[in-house]
Structure 1
Amino acid sequence: MAGAELFNRLPEDCISSILSLTSPKDTLSFSLVSSFLRSVASFDFIWQTFLPSDYNQIIDKSVIPLNYSSKKELFVHLCNSILLDGGNKSFALDKSSGKKSYIISAEELSILYGEEPDHWTWKSVPESRFSKVAELKVICKLEVKAKLRTSILSPNTKYGIYFIMKLSDRAFGLNSVPVEISLEIGNRKEVHTAYLDHRNGEKEKQRDQRLPYKRKDGWMEIELGELFNSGDEDEEVRVSLREVKGCHVKGGLVIEGTEVRPKH
């Protein structure tokens, strides 16, 4: 208590400068100490430092106009995720660190034969944040690719990239052989194998082999790879999921998109 009382005696600008050097999580914790600190912890100056430097450009790309009366309120809005670029991307800030994350919709991915109605259907589902997802009808060769630039990510941050998917009730052939998942950035390439369907427990996980697991939003995800964005240069990141062993008939895969988010 004595420490809190001492802190309360500091000038407001001194306290706000200290809080701006911490994190959103720490600042919210400080605001619980006293009504005085709660008032200081809401200063725009502090929350401006927690917002990404390009937050104005991000706001301009928002599908729905954002209404906010303070930088703290804006930060909270962005933590709840917003749709960008005509609804083809989802953007959010990590509420504890302020780091950026994105989800790229299926419509922004390169899906082999994705425009062929005999192979894929595009439809709306209530559980998706996007207007359309891609559902595989039937195909022999599966290949999905995505690209992004490191300049859109937070600097000095380790990221994971994830393939977001589901299996329909009619899914078949997706547990026959593993798929190859890869991440390329510069001259580095990270390659793993994964099974998209292991519901029957027929496949046991082998070394360096990945399986989908359930997310809080009800979808499934597989980690495609990870990267560290230093922020020193803008590099292209390429990720892919593809079948490389023969040709096997399959169907029932539902794709929502690809997510890149900070790893803690």
Structure 2
Amino acid sequence: MGTGFSFFSRDIPSSSPPIKPGLGDLPESCVSSILMSLDPLEICKSAQINKAFRAASLADFVWESKLPSNYKFLVDKVLDLESLPKKELYAKLCQPNRFDGGTKEAWLDKSCGQVFLAISSKALRITGIDDRRYWSHISTEESRFHTVAYLKKFWWVEALGELEFEFPPGSYNLYFRLQLGKTCTKRFGRRVCTVDQVHGWHIKPVRFQLSTSEGQHAVSECYLHEVGSWVHYHVGDFVVNKPNMPIKINFSMVQIDCTHTKGGLCLDSVLITPSKFREKLIKCT
């Protein structure tokens, strides 16, 4: 009897097999280091893996590594708030943030944290803008600023702008967002654009220019010919080399050939984007 019992007892494992370590066993500091190598959207997705990843995804040093080098300037310039956790700060900076009396707007691209900037037509010095015989301001949902400058008819077309801003080091493009035709409210759910006042743009090209306080210059010319849709006209590029240093930019669009009038033009805004987004912007135009 005792012999039989000892025989069967040898087939019973003395202890259960060792449990293999999983992702949940990684130290939070280790997980945080892993998350620093991911982009912001991947970090948010990783937070759903387990508690360790969720806790690590909230670490300030993780999100500070995703913020642009000029984020303190952006906080002072466009945000009016107390100190926030870096993840919340990143989220707020990814939203469109107005400054300079609501005539300018800055935001970060959610996927990479690079800086974008838009300047309303109301922030530009436009020749004749106060004379309603030639220019008017039109309300429209097609502008991020909800208003555009509309040229009815004039000989001298000149829009000048300037900006002093701190950009992270990198290469940037500057565009004028224009449309030939007057945008109207939607009718029966369809977009309506009247083009009866469009004239004069095929005779001579529009001249675009930019210059910076660091001695960079760019000039481009083109005819405005695409009627009824918004187009981003590329003015030129500039490069920022010095971190945490404001740069001054002057830019303009001019068509001052007084042998003929021009009209039917909507001037929405000026857009500054990182150069890597140029192809994407052209496709969306």
Q: TM-score range by the shorter chain?
A: 0.7 to 0.9
Once the two structures are overlaid, the 10-residue window that deviates more, 76-85 or 172-181, is 76-85
Decide which of 185, 188, 213 is 2:216's aligned counterpart: 188
Which runs of 5 or more residues in structure 2 are unaligned?
Answer: 1-20, 183-193, 277-285
Residue in 1 that maps onto 2:283: none
Q: Distance in 1 between matches of 2:38 and 2:72?
A: 17
Which runs of 5 or more residues in structure 1 are unaligned?
Answer: 201-213
State how 1:104-143 maps to structure 2 within 5 Å.
104-143=119-158
State how 1:232-251 maps to structure 2 within 5 Å.
232=243, 233-243=245-255, 245=257, 247-251=259-263
Q: 1:222 to 1:250 in 2, by over 3 A?
A: same
Max Rg structure: 2
Once the two structures are overlaid, the 10-residue window that deviates more, 90-99 or 231-240, is 231-240
**SS of 2:72 mapped into structure 1:** coil
Q: Distance in 1 between matches of 2:116 and 2:48?
A: 28
Q: 1:175 to 1:235 in 2, by over 3 A?
A: same
The residue type paired with residue 163 of structure 1 is F
Once the two structures are overlaid, the 10-residue window that deviates more, 23-32 or 237-246, is 23-32
Q: Distance in 2 between matches of 1:134 and 1:14?
A: 54
Residue in 2 that maps onto 1:162: 175
The residue type paired with residue 269 of structure 2 is G
Is the Cα contact below 8 Å between 2:78 and 2:97 reproduced in 1? no
Is the Cα contact below 8 Å between 2:120 and 2:145 reproduced in 1? yes
**SS of 2:91 mapped into structure 1:** helix
CA RMSD, 1 decimal: 2.9
Residue in 1 that maps onto 2:166: 152
State how 1:11-160 maps to structure 2 within 5 Å.
11-20=27-36, 23-28=39-44, 30-31=46-47, 34=50, 36-51=52-67, 52-60=71-79, 70-149=85-164, 151-153=165-167, 155-160=168-173
Q: 1:99 to 1:254 in 2, by over 3 A?
A: same
**SS of 2:264 mapped into structure 1:** strand
The residue type paired with residue 160 of structure 1 is N
Residue in 2 that maps onto 1:173: 200
Q: 1:239 to 1:99 in 2, by over 3 A?
A: same
How many matched pairs?
A: 237
**SS of 1:192 mapped into structure 2:** strand
Pairwise CA distance, 1:108: 0.5
Q: 1:247 to 1:15 in 2, by over 3 A?
A: farther
CA offsets per residue over residues 205-241 of structure 1, 9 Å max, x none? xxxxxxxxx6xxxx32111111111125433221111
Is the Cα contact below 8 Å between 1:180 and 1:244 reproduced in 2? no
TM-score w.r.t. the length of structure 2 is: 0.71
Is the Cα contact below 8 Å between 2:155 and 2:257 reproduced in 1? no
Pairwise CA distance, 1:246: 5.0
TM-score w.r.t. the length of structure 1 is: 0.76
Pairwise CA distance, 1:8: 5.4
Pairwise CA distance, 1:60: 3.4
Is the Cα contact below 8 Å between 2:175 and 2:234 reproduced in 1? yes
Pairwise CA distance, 1:17: 4.2
Pairwise CA distance, 1:178: 0.9
Pairwise CA distance, 1:20: 3.8
Identity %: 28
